[in-house]
Amino acid sequence: PMWTGLSLRYRLLAKGPVAVVVPLIAVVCAAPFVVDLRARWREGLADAAIAGLVAMVVAAPWYVAMTMTHGVEFLRVAVWMQNVGRFAGQMADHGQSAGVFGLAAAVGVLPWMGLLPAALARLRRPSTNRREAVRFTLAVTTASSLAFYSLSASKLASYSLALMPPASALIGIFLDEALDNVRGNGAAAFRWAGSVLAIVAA
């Protein structure tokens, strides 16, 4: 919870409240499949409370200082307009199409983008296997981030950076397994990667 709180603090300072909302959506979507919520809901709430408290204690002084310096206008512009307004469509003519955003995300994962379909094909509903739980959570995080930014009114290509860590880790888990069995599923995955690189080069 402490490390999560420090991560949230950095998100709040760097990108504002929306940077907390996006991973929260992923957690809410993935948690029912990877954690026994009936048995661990108290522990989950306690962890969330600690993480939230750490994030607020560390991030709040900056927000307070900026509000005292610039007044309520800081909250209206920096917090509301640049976060909620940007993604709810209150900022007109801002951003590119969903296609540009998706292309930026795909290019960002090169040269391993060709492994992503094979990595997704390995997805299974997690049971007690921690690797499967991590794989599933990474896939949900990638999908929920893609959905959030694709549906938002603002689509800057740089938002694709949010997809790259979970997608790269998902590919990395698959690649680790594929290297142990190159003659099996790995060979097809490497052909995928080779094809993508050839298309990009062309």
Question: Would the pLDDT of 192 be above 70?
Answer: yes
User: What integer pLDDT is reported at residue 183 of this predicted model?
Assistant: 56
Percent of the chain residues past pLDDT 90, beyond the cut: 1
Q: Average of pLDDT values for 166-180?
A: 85
Q: What is the pLDDT of residue 66?
A: 87
pTM for this prediction: 0.70
173 membership: H or E segment, kind and range: helix 164-179
Q: What is the pLDDT of residue 184?
A: 56
Amino acid 156: pLDDT: 73
Longest dimension (CA), the chain: 64
CA distances from 81 to 19, 74, 75, 89 (A): 14, 10, 8, 10
Q: What is residue 182's predicted lDDT score, i.e. its pLDDT?
A: 62
User: Taking 70 as the threshold, does the pLDDT of residue 119 lie above it?
Assistant: yes
CA distance linking residue 36 with residue 55, whole number of Å = 26
Under the phi-then-psi rule, with left for phi > 0, alpha for psi from -120 to 50, and beta for the rest, what region is 93?
Answer: left
Q: How confident is the model at residue 126 (pLDDT cuts 50, 70, 90)?
A: confident
Give 122's pLDDT tier (boundaries 50, 70, 90).
Answer: confident
Question: Would you tell me the crossing angle of helices 2-15 and 37-70 to the nearest 10 degrees?
Answer: 40
Residue 25's pLDDT is 86
pLDDT-derived band at 146, boundaries 50, 70, 90: confident
HSE-CB of 117 using CA atoms within 13 angstroms:
9
Tell me what pLDDT residue 94 has.
54
The per-residue pLDDT for 78 is 78
22-31, 42-51, 185-194: least confidently modelled range: 185-194
Average pLDDT, the chain: 79
* Chain segment 72-90, per-residue pLDDT in tens: 888 888 777 777 766 766 5
